[in-house]
């Protein structure tokens, strides 16, 4: 069996689990690395589950293609540390999480020294995308991409796969994507604030249904807003918006490179304000984020911890350029 028809998955949560289900449905054999807790719903769908790394690697034919779906941070370094000694030249490891792109550049260089291809695979589309067709933005060397590409094309929607270029570019493109997402969420939330504070008795779900059909601003976020308004009691939604901190990195990068991004920067500031008791705009953003990514309503300590720990590499572009000039790159 070739890598075109099988894949290993480490991290069987919302994204990894749903990608596994989609893959099996599409005829791709999936070997999943589970922890102590079993995943009977995945077994029922045909996902082969193992608990030990040795068994996981031995079940996959060379060149192995492995998709890692774990929270950004030190845990992403821990996975290659465990896998590296067990893999062979030409195997491919893809980080499908929201890792900081400079961390991905470093990881690619480290694994390249072991003959292993490391791809930074920005993944969008939420749980539904993972289940029925995701959007992949993939950075990495051409040889590794060509090995993984048939699987990525099979698991993406039409037009939803792109090789963005060198290592780090996939996660950088996904980071910019998330910044744009923040700006769009903020604009929609402010529109809800205006509608709710008006002198009119406006049915929000009807307005968003209207906007989803032929308007200039129609799109998935507007559709999600309508859907969530019909499923949730708007006034009961906590106006606290949680996040894992990736767009903060983008704002920091923009400051370092003196690239003006006022809308995205302000959307981050507004998100901070939501934690101080703001009103309807943040309920609206919380609704849409829950719709596309199952993000929680209200504060969540595990996500707050990820926000604090997920960025490992913390050097700026200018620092890296200085190190290159000085010959001190690692």
CB 248 within 8 A of CB 304: no
> What pLDDT does 96 receive?
97
As a whole number of Å, the end-to-end CA separation of the chain is 37
pLDDT digits (tens, 9 = 90+) for 215-246: 999 999 999 999 999 999 999 998 888 898 99
Beta strands in the chain (DSSP E): 6-10, 29-33, 48-50, 65-68, 92-95, 117-124, 134-139, 156-165
CB 91 within 8 A of CB 63: yes
**Which of the residues 181, 253, 270, 306 is marked catalytic?**
181
pLDDT at 8 over 90: yes
Cβ within 8 Å of residue 141, ≥6 positions away: 108, 112, 117, 166, 167
Domains in the chain, CATH or no CATH each = 3-165 (3.40.50.720), 173-309 (1.10.1040.10)
Tally the C-alpha atoms within 13 A of residue 330's C-alpha that lie toward its C-beta: 10
CB 137 within 8 A of CB 173: yes
For the chain, how are helix, strand and coil distributed in percent, rounded to 5?
55, 15, 30
Q: Is 174 a catalytic residue?
A: yes
Instruction: Say if residue 63 is preceded by a cis peptide, omega within 30 of 0.
Output: yes
* Higher local confidence (pLDDT), 35 or 43: 43
Mean pLDDT, the chain, rounded, equals 91
The pTM of the full predicted model, rounded to 2 decimals, is 0.82
How sure is the predictor about 209, in pLDDT bands with cuts at 50, 70 and 90? very high
> What pLDDT does 23 receive?
97
> What pLDDT does 330 receive?
47
CA 267 – CA 41 distance, rounded (Å): 38
Number of H helices, E strands in the chain: 15, 8
Structure tokens at 326: 């000085």
> What pLDDT does 168 receive?
97
What are 6's strand-pairing partners?
Answer: 29
CB 83 within 8 A of CB 64: no
* Higher local confidence (pLDDT), 95 or 3: 95
Q: Is 181 a catalytic residue?
A: yes
CA 171 to chain centre: 9
* Higher local confidence (pLDDT), 305 or 207: 207
CA 37 – CA 31 distance, rounded (Å): 16
CA 303 – CA 292 distance, rounded (Å): 16
pLDDT at 319 over 70: no
Phi, psi angles (nearest 5°) of residue 199: -85, 0
CA 6 – CA 154 distance, rounded (Å): 12
**Which of the residues 33, 149, 174, 270 is marked catalytic?**
174
pLDDT digits (tens, 9 = 90+) for 157-203: 999 999 999 999 999 999 999 999 999 999 999 999 999 999 999 99
Element (H, E) at 6: strand 6-10
CB 92 within 8 A of CB 81: no
Say whether 120 sits in a helix, a strand or coil.
strand
* Higher local confidence (pLDDT), 49 or 84: 49
């Amino acid at each position: 069996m070739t890598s075109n028809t099988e894949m290993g998955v480490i991290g069987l949560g919302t994204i990894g689990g749903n990608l596994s289900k989609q893959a099996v449905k599409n005829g791709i054999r999936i070997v999943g690395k589970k922890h102590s807790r079993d995943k009977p719903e995945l077994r029922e769908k045909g996902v082969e589950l193992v608990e030990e790394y040795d068994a996981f690697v031995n079940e996959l034919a060379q060149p192995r293609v492995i998709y890692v779906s774990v929270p950004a941070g030190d845990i992403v370094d821990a996975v290659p540390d465990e896998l590296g000694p067990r893999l062979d030249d030409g195997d491919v490891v893809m980080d499908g999480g929201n890792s900081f792109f400079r961390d991905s550049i470093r990881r690619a260089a480290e694994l390249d020294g072991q003959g292993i291809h490391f791809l930074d695979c920005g993944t969008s589309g939420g749980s539904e995308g993972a289940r029925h067709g995701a959007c992949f933005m993939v950075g990495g060397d051409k040889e590794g991409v060509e090995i993984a590409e048939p699987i990525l094309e099979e698991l993406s929607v039409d037009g939803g796969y792109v090789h963005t270029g060198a290592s780090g570019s996939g996660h950088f493109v996904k980071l910019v994507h998330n910044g744009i997402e923040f700006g769009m969420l903020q604009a929609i939330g402010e529109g809800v604030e205006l509608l709710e504070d008006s002198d009119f008795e406006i049915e929000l779900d009807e307005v968003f249904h209207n906007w989803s059909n032929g308007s200039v601003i129609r799109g998935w976020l507007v559709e999600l807003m309508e859907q969530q308004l019909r499923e949730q009691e708007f006034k009961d939604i906590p106006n606290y918006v949680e996040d894992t901190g990736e767009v903060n990195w983008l704002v920091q990068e923009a400051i370092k490179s003196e690239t003006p991004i006022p809308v995205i920067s302000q959307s981050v500031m507004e998100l901070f304000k939501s934690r101080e008791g703001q009103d309807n705009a943040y309920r609206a953003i919380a609704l849409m984020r829950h719709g596309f990514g199952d993000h929680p309503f209200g504060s969540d300590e595990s996500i707050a911890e990820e926000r604090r720990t997920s960025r490992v590499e913390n050097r700026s572009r200018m620092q890296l350029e200085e190190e290159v000039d000085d010959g001190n790159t690692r």
